Structure 1
């Protein structure tokens, strides 16, 4: 990659690998930068930087966009944004109802689901879903058990 990064988020879209955010050891900050690996030319290149730096975030793809949610930057985050590779642009969406880092994020049936994680003081059983048509988050049933590795 162009920059060393730990605790980043990774997604695959249109045959390319995207590495976003992460942690910079040299000054203990979360990165805003993002990169794309194009296997056909065996090369990493920078794409537009995210609006906010974040590590411990999670991401998924939906409708040819990458959605990244939550994470850590001087505290647990509730913000989310998506990347459009056709315009090389990040767009902030409505924040989640809960601050979460170390969360799980998945696309299912046209919605983005953010599950579990940690809010900075405790592990979460809660989950919420994002509707990209209405740009809103809504609560979904909680997990039955708390994750044990957060």
Structure 2
């Protein structure tokens, strides 16, 4: 996104205990500056969440809180806005989900001759 690579969440193995530890940060690699930095902390760190970037927002969807008990899945949806440096929590997904994948799709609006049309909003 914008010539930057965002690494979101994940886990690492604690060298002393061998237990998995959730990573609660979003880190960014700035290609031009050749530098890494922490952008923010994830409010609800979790395993196996779906993560996707749309425009200047990063969405975390589902996942579970503990790798020891799979019955602690969640339907929470959290969104980090890169422009405003703020987190919001959206309406929950209809069911608890984990180990799923998210992807951003661009679907243009086209006329019969397949020329891409500008997307406009109409308010009434």
Give the TM-score, by structure 2 length.
0.68
Question: Aligned partners of 2:84, 2:58: CA distance in 1, in Å?
Answer: 12
Question: Aligned partners of 2:29, 2:85: CA distance in 1, in Å?
Answer: 14
Question: Aligned partners of 1:78, 1:97: CA distance in 2, in Å?
Answer: 7
Q: Which has the higher contact order (CA 8 A, sep 6+)?
A: 2
1:86 pairs, out of 83, 106, 117, with: 83
Name the one with the larger strand percent. 1
| RMSD over equivalenced CA pairs, Å | 1.9
Deviations, residues 9-46 of structure 1 (Å, cap 9, x unaligned): xxxx2221111111131142322211011111111100
Larger radius of gyration: 2
CA gap of 1:71–1:60, structure 2 versus 1, over 3 A, is same
Unaligned runs of 5+ in 1: 1-12, 111-150
Unaligned runs of 5+ in 2: 67-71, 108-124
Q: How does 1:25-44 map to 2 (within 5 A)?
A: 25-26=13-14, 27-44=19-36
1:51 pairs, out of 43, 49, 65, with: 43
Question: Aligned partners of 1:40, 1:102: CA distance in 2, in Å?
Answer: 33
Give the TM-score, by structure 1 length.
0.58
CA gap of 1:23–1:63, structure 2 versus 1, over 3 A, is same
